[in-house]
Structure 1
Amino acid sequence: MNKKNHPNRNQAKVKRYTVKEPAELLPFLLKSISNLSRNAVKSLLTRRQVSVNDRVVTAHNFLLQPGQTVSIGNNRASEETSMVGLAILHEDEDIIVIRKEAGLLSIASSQENELTAYRQLMAHVRTQNPKSRIFVVHRLDRDTSGVMMFAKSKDVQQKLQNSWQDIVRERTYIALVEGVVKKPEGTISSWLKESKTLKMYSSPYPNDGQHAVTHYKVIQASQGFSLLEVHLETGRKNQIRVHMQDIGHPVVGDKKYGAKTKAIGRLGLHARVLAFLHPATGELLRFETDIPRAFLGPLRGAK
């Protein structure tokens, strides 16, 4: 390859089309890009590879006006970098799936007024339609990282929440916990309740509270820490954190539930996999993220 073409390589990948007459975005793209199938063009929209006047657009029916420029290619960097503590993994007309970093609130409480995943995604969908909204389906604690999903309509939110146990096929977490867990795998079952100080705990009485079931498997262990793969059978508030404390191995950095160490400067909990049936199409979607590098630091030298 000729070296002098190197700096312009990314620019060459971006294709631009000028809109001549009013049209919806998907039909315009199908007409403009004759060498791609309908599904391939839809995929460009889903992967956020299409911009109108340098603003990312994913809606198939976005109305184009004469004089606008439609760009296709590596043109999403500007909006992605403006989002703090999250990245969009998937977006369509019904849902948004993100990877949240530790430290970002999913949604603010009535007492809090700070940047949240919810607020940023609301601003994102309103760049395409000022009336658009997003709706909370489930939450991750502020200090938990990983995959989470939002709905783009009240109907989709209700369908997901009402059928959560049937729609969600896999929820896998990675937990870095204190101490060496002796049993290579196990199941923890208890009835969870919330105290007056808003702390969850396992009730000593059967049928007293919400039933919670957690399955775990040891991936790796060292002198003072264990890395666990955790599968949720139920999704209760702080479930993993309470259950790890119950077996005497609190999550690293989780002072609220008995941890004594701050080995990685954050909570050692990451929502690694979320797999579910799409609420509109029924298609099985699966999103997997990497184990945070920080979780592996305390395990160096482990067998």
Structure 2
Amino acid sequence: MEFNTDGNTGEVEKIIAAEEDAGQRLDIYLAMKLDVSRSNMQKLLEDGRVVRGTKVLKANYKVRAGDEFAVALPEPEPLEIQPENIPLDIIFEDEDVVVINKKRGMVVHPAPGNYTGTLVNALLYHCQNLSGINNVIRPGIVHRLDKDTSGIMIVAKNDAAHISLSEQIQSKTARRSYIAIVRGNVKDDSGTVSAQIARDKNDRKKMSVVQSGGRDAVTDYEVLERFGRFTIVRCRLRTGRTHQIRVHMEYLGYPLVGDPKYSPMKVPFAINGQALHSQVLEFTHPRTGERLHFEAVIPEDMQKIITRLRNGQF
């Protein structure tokens, strides 16, 4: 394949159109698939960075089922992310890893239009070194939490630790469990949701369950307490897809309390974002081989909801 570019080419993304994708404008379709703005995708198309076979395509091309597109993404421009003296709730730290209890409302890493006030800005101030595997935008970040999900995260301070931890997450030997407060009376005491997740066709900032063409996603859940209109559940991830717990619980009919994307209904509780907390993390230390177990205290906003539920105040 050949691209009509200036040679500044980083990764090449390959995308195959499904039957349900047929008829869409190429710029709209690829913007959704790659989670970029339509204007950015139009610029990539204008620059000759999208081909089908050997043919360079334009923005108004109508997608056909089975089309295979190659998109040459430019190398990201280096950005100097500034350290910021932002308080961190550190659960554990040594020369290889930092385990953090992230507060709700904190973005994990910088992104366009949001380059300050993130966990990465805080880490750069706190740590002398971080793993460079995920480039200057995401140094040390092995996995992430949504902005409005609180709880435990692990950060790598060197590349060897980063590789080990990433492999543990991929092989599922690193274990994560979450506490969630959901709407509705969850019927079964426990269960497993195995349903593919893909970007929502109508809103590229959302994910949704699809029958095919998505990424495999598996979530185990168990009921901890029931209160009729609300239920407290523990969720364990077998995979780590974007918004996975939020999407899977909404798919079951039990959306998370306070979730602005998947459950925008008003609830009688004060919480800014979804009631979801990453509570437990287990992993093998990348240097010592010791099995480590950490827990992050449930945040005050969720604890107040749980207290009200137990007192029947809803």
Q: Which of 253, 271, 274 in structure 1 is aligned with 2:278?
A: 271
Deviation at 1:202, TM superposition (A): 0.8
Aligned residues: 216
Q: Specify every segment of 5 or more residues in structure 2 that has no aligned partner in the other structure, as ranges.
A: 1-84
1:106-145 map, 5 Å: 106-126=108-128, 134-145=139-150
Which deviates more from structure 2 when the two are superposed, residues 165-174 or residues 147-156?
165-174
Check the 8 A contact 1:167/1:277 in 2, yes or no. Answer: no
1:242-281 map, 5 Å: 242-262=247-267, 263-266=269-272, 267-281=274-288
Q: Specify every segment of 5 or more residues in structure 1 that has no aligned partner in the other structure, as ranges.
A: 1-81
**What SS does the aligned partner of 1:147 have?**
strand
Amino acid at match of 1:243: H
Q: Which of 97, 100, 107 in structure 2 is aligned with 1:105?
A: 107
Deviation at 1:131, TM superposition (A): 11
Matched, 1:234 2:244: no
Matched, 1:200 2:202: no
Deviations 1:33-56 (A, max 9, x none): xxxxxxxxxxxxxxxxxxxxxxxx
Check the 8 A contact 1:96/1:150 in 2, yes or no. Answer: yes
Which residue of the partner structure matches residue 296 of structure 2?
289
Deviation at 1:158, TM superposition (A): 2.7
Identity %: 38
**What SS does the aligned partner of 1:260 have?**
coil
Which deviates more from structure 2 when the two are superposed, residues 149-158 or residues 255-264?
255-264
In structure 2, do the counterparts of structure 1 residues 91 and 169 end up closer, same or farther at CA, with 3 Å as the change threshold?
same
Amino acid at match of 1:296: I
TM-score, normalised with respect to structure 1: 0.66
TM-score, normalised with respect to structure 2: 0.64
Query: In proportion to residue count, which structure has more strand?
Result: 1
Check the 8 A contact 2:173/2:283 in 1, yes or no. Answer: yes
1:1-303 map, 5 Å: 83-84=86-87, 86-126=88-128, 134-166=139-171, 168-195=173-200, 197-205=204-212, 208-262=213-267, 263-266=269-272, 267-292=274-299, 293-301=303-311
Amino acid at match of 1:265: I
Deviations 1:178-230 (A, max 9, x none): 1111111111111111135131111123xx22111111111111132110011
In structure 2, do the counterparts of structure 1 residues 130 and 228 end up closer, same or farther at CA, with 3 Å as the change threshold?
closer
Task: Mark the structure with the bigger radius of gyration.
Answer: 1
